[in-house]
Amino acid sequence: MKQRTLGKSSLQVSALGLGCMGLSYGYGTVTEKNVAIGLIRDAVARGVTFFDTAQLYGPFTNEEVVGEALKPLRDKVVIATKFGFEVPFTDGMQRLNSRPEYIRQSVEQSLKRLGTDVIDLLYQHRVDPDVPIEEVAGVVKDLIAEGKVKHFGLSEAGAATIRRAHAVQPVTALQSEYSIWFREPEEEILPLLEELGIGFVPFAPLGKGFLTGAIDQTTQFSSQDFRSTVPRFAEDARLANLALVELIGTIADRKQVTRAQIALAWLLAQKPWIVPIPGTTKLSRLEENIGAADVTLSVQELAGIEQALSHIQLQGDRYSEAHKARWGR
């Protein structure tokens, strides 16, 4: 597996990481623990060194599974986790909490669940409007000085927040959604990250499964699958957005690779400091995704994709109204 460095930091990781959320959260079905551990270790054996989890996923169970899977391989991998939500939930509600004392409490609990003495990359999961980002960055700076954390990250933060946080404690990476299906970060975020020397870790690089071609307008989502609440996955929107899937399929057929590999290769081609974290529960998909690191899109192919995309009108927001307020602060 090729390696990439996140921005101007010293944090080097595999060109593709593994997003572990879906093993225990978000899609309705929880992967059996032994199967999840096996998949994570299979990823390491195939060159993946970057693993993403969070307290929220489960909550808690994802960190435990990731920690157990990687404990015997700890010196070979980079583990990223997140704080910022009150967990367990109260009345089923997700409440933000980045108060300094809660960050410290969260980190201590994450260290125990992960079975490690240091977190390689610690993200604020979502910006808390009730706590100045300077305070958040200051706490993480202290945790780094204490040896409990190595690098600071933000997730779904807006440009002004990133700049303010970076002035207190250098931000190693921003994690936000970015794919050939959702390109808004190109407007303001990517130029800022390049200016400040911050790496970018796109989640949902396969459009939550849509870009693989496995989902069409007839697909049914269970009530436990968060995609059932996402406007972009409404039946009419899926039907309209299949034009993008067809475009990716045409390019994939021409290069004799898969749609997923084209979608990931496109992301890797955007900047050398971008590290996507596709998730999966299946070994075959893991191997397929890893193969994308060896797919090269030429300048001409990228230009052709750009031109074709200009003629496709994508439909549907990527978040429900309830979740929009937590993005881009």
Query: Measuring CA to CA, which residue among 329, 325, 328, 277 is closest to residue 94?
Result: 325
Which residues have a Cβ under 8 Å from the Cβ of 231 and sit 6 or more positions away?
237, 316, 317, 318, 319, 320
Active-site annotation holds for 25: no
* CA-derived radius of gyration, the chain: 19
DSSP codes of every residue in 125-147: SS--TTS-HHHHHHHHHHHHHTT
Kindly name the residue from 27, 57, 102, 123 that is annotated as catalytic: 57
Rounded Cα gap, residues 96 and 126, in angstroms: 7
The distance of Cα 120 from the centroid of its chain, to the nearest Å, equals 15
End-to-end CA distance of the chain: 34
| DSSP letter assigned to residue 26 | S
- Known catalytic residues are 57
